[in-house]
Amino acid sequence: MKDAAYESNPILDKLPEHLKQFIKPQHYETYSAIDQAVWRYVMRKNVDYLSKVAHQSYVDGLEKTGISIEHIPNMYGMNRILKEIGWAAVTVDGFIPPSAFMEFQAYNVLVIASDIRQLENIEYTPAPDIIHEGAGHAPIIANPEYAEYLRRFGEIGSKAISSGKDYELYEAVRHLSIIKEAHGTPEAEIEEAEKHIEYLQENMGPPSEMALIRNLHWWTVEYGLIGTLEHPKIYGAGLLSSIGESKWCMQDEVVKLPYTIEATQQAFDITKPQPQLFVTTDFAHLSQVLEDFANTMALRTGGLSGIQKLIDSRALGSIELSTGLQISGQFNSVIEHDGKPVYIRTIGPTALSYREKELVGHSTQHHPEGFGSPIGKLKGINLAIEDMGPRDLKAYKIYEGEEIALEFEGGVKVEGTIVTGTRNLQGKIILITFKDCKVTHDGTILFLPEWGLYHMAVGQDVVSAFNGPADLNSFDLITHELSETTIKPDKNPKRLQLESFYQQVRDFREGTNTTISRNKVFQELKQHHPEDWLLLVELYELAKMSNNQGFQQEIKQHLETVKQLNPKVGHLIDDGLAQIDGEAIKI
């Protein structure tokens, strides 16, 4: 099946609709010959260097995942190969919300930003691009242990509860990544965006679960090292895709620390090289630390603190009670007693589910204005309602047609006539419906008879609290709108001319057009594009292949002029020439 955005396959078919909204067409034909040359330079240099310092899985994975040195990967081709290891890939527009990014991973789908960095940012860019994600993330997932870590990370990470400030930081980082990769952005505008991120990072308050797990993601998936502290290897995609940082990280100035759960407390700055990195002994250890962290999340601890996290997030979330009943909505308030929640309240559309499946008659249409219910045990009765058998329920008059007054520990009272009860698969009561019902707490009205039927959740404990709905189909999640999209440059005649020269050289090298005059291209570059260096390196490569030593020297001399005009690219030129000449690249 093919649609406007992507070609599907069995793995992508399983994606929920709210994730499909982020998928964008790759538009492979829009990659210019300059883009292809940037990919080729980075990959040639990386593969040569990384074969010495990267984990063996990276080198093996390049072949297994269909990543070519010569061409930017095409998603259709990548997916045909990735499906052999149980994964797929999709292209998106830059950064997407962290929870969505992680949820894609939970479905074994790699998210790849389709743009490619500018030649000016060839060593490093804060923006996600196809070099970072295609060449960085994809090869390493060919390792089964690491691939399972990535999937599990996505599964757990997508349930992490965020704060409102997390989303503000995400928007700021996305904005910086867009303007930094846009041609002609004033330096002052970039500095202002960086200062804004700095300000937000310094004023985040206590870190949310999402902030903490994003730290783990950064120090493993993006910037992880593996092996021993003395002789680590690279496996993090941020390092694998950055020809600058892959060298930098191996220097003694970069502190190497053993990877532990303490990494959750180590913040990071995407605008600067990392001053310290964490080294895991093996991929299995990553999974152990992830599980240790998951044990601290509201997903597994629930309770009053879990509900409070959901309230603070001001976003759609869910709690699960000890009966398995799940309540999904925006949590607004909680009444507590002795450190335990005794009444919870959502506002706006709310749905009730059991085992991630919405209960019939309890959709957002049935609870459009929120849901409230007591939680816990009845006052003076040791046996919880959920543990009562039919005889117990009858003895306590929790029975169809009975008019009853239930008082819970903590002071919540429910008075009304029981209409019916809903049971789970184990036969436990999970929901009791009342008519003519009044609910109060220490005299405060929580529900009145004229408001209609009252549905009381049954559960003595909140065992889990997590981001998002229990049943994905309960809510309309296809509402995400990007505040801004990546900026595509308008190409002036000079830029188009330069692209045509790159294309001519590419065509010559690949044998599709061998009639071009390489010397003429060289003279045009000297006259009209004196700042360009990458095409000169490619011309030098062709001169070397044809053993034209005079042309080689002429190009080398001009490259010295380019280095004087722009010293920042000197080492890039030297590395490119050294690789062509078969010399060791200086580290």
Tens-digit pLDDT profile for residues 336-386: 999 999 999 999 999 999 999 999 999 999 999 999 999 999 999 999 999
Give the model's pLDDT for residue 2.
42
Model confidence, pTM = 0.86
Strand partners, 54: 234
Tens-digit pLDDT profile for residues 392-431: 999 999 999 999 999 999 999 999 999 999 998 888 899 9
DSSP state letter for 310: H
pLDDT greater than 90 at residue 485:
no
Residues 281 and 358 in one domain: no
Residues 338 and 278 in one domain: no
Residues 426 and 542 in one domain: no
pLDDT greater than 80 at residue 94:
no
Give the model's pLDDT for residue 80.
84
Count CA atoms closer than 13 A to 233's CA, side-chain side.
Answer: 17
| Residues sharing a CB contact under 8 Å with residue 93, sequence separation 6 or more, in sequence order | 22, 24, 113, 114, 115, 482, 485, 486
Instruction: Determine whether 563 is exposed, middle or buried from the number of CB atoms within 10 Å of its CB (0-12, 13-18, 19+).
Output: middle
Q: With bands split at pLDDT 50, 70 and 90, how would you rate the model's confidence at 583?
A: low
Structure token pair of residue 443:
């005299």
Residues 418 and 507 in one domain: no
Give the model's pLDDT for residue 51.
84
Give the model's pLDDT for residue 273.
79
| Mean pLDDT, residues 78-98 | 86
Please state, in angstroms and rounded to a whole number, the distance separating the CA atoms of residues 411 and 484: 50
Residues 286 and 320 in one domain: no
Which one is predicted more confidently, 312 or 204? 312
> Where residue 453 sits, what CATH number does that domain have?
2.30.30.100
pLDDT greater than 50 at residue 3:
no
Please state, in angstroms and rounded to a whole number, the distance separating the CA atoms of residues 206 and 191: 26
pLDDT greater than 60 at residue 4:
no
pLDDT greater than 90 at residue 198:
no
Amino acid at residue number 22: F
pLDDT greater than 50 at residue 158:
yes
Please state, in angstroms and rounded to a whole number, the distance separating the CA atoms of residues 443 and 182: 61
Residues 418 and 552 in one domain: no
Residues 130 and 272 in one domain: yes
Give the model's pLDDT for residue 488.
62
Is residue 483 included in any domain, yes or no? no
Is residue 437 included in any domain, yes or no? yes
Range of the domain at 569: 493-581
Q: Where are the alpha helices (DSSP H) in 219-378?
A: 237-240, 245-248, 283-294, 298-301, 303-313
Give the model's pLDDT for residue 339.
94
pLDDT greater than 80 at residue 96:
yes
Q: With bands split at pLDDT 50, 70 and 90, how would you rate the model's confidence at 292?
A: very high
pLDDT greater than 50 at residue 50:
yes
Give the model's pLDDT for residue 587.
36
Give the model's pLDDT for residue 257.
97
Pick from 241, 24, 16: which is nearest to 106 by CA? 16
CB-based contact 138:77 (threshold 8 Å): no
Is residue 401 included in any domain, yes or no? yes
Pick from 467, 479, 478, 462: which is nearest to 163 by CA? 467
> Where residue 105 sits, what CATH number does that domain have?
1.10.800.10
Give the model's pLDDT for residue 1.
37
Residues 425 and 519 in one domain: no
Most confident of 12-21, 90-99, 194-203, 285-294: 285-294
Please state, in angstroms and rounded to a whole number, the distance separating the CA atoms of residues 120 and 34: 11
Residues 326 and 251 in one domain: no
| Mean pLDDT, residues 321-333 | 97
Q: For the chain, how many structural domains are there in total?
A: 3
Question: What DSSP string describes 448-501?
Answer: -GGG--EEEE--S-EEEEEES-SSGGGS--TT---SS-PPPPPPPHHHHHHHHH
pLDDT averaged over every residue in the chain: 90
Tens-digit pLDDT profile for residues 505-556: 999 999 998 888 999 999 999 999 999 999 999 999 999 999 999 999 999 9
Q: With bands split at pLDDT 50, 70 and 90, how would you rate the model's confidence at 152?
A: very high
Residues 371 and 223 in one domain: no
Is residue 478 included in any domain, yes or no? no
Residues 85 and 142 in one domain: yes
Is residue 46 included in any domain, yes or no? yes
Amino acid at residue number 450: E
Structure token pair of residue 21:
């909204």
Residues 516 and 553 in one domain: yes
pLDDT greater than 60 at residue 585:
no
Tens-digit pLDDT profile for residues 208-247: 999 999 999 999 999 999 999 999 999 998 888 887 788 8
CB-based contact 168:315 (threshold 8 Å): no
Is residue 2 included in any domain, yes or no? no
Is residue 4 included in any domain, yes or no? no
Least confidently predicted of 22-26, 45-49, 213-217, 396-400: 45-49
Q: With bands split at pLDDT 50, 70 and 90, how would you rate the model's confidence at 269?
A: confident
Is residue 406 included in any domain, yes or no? yes
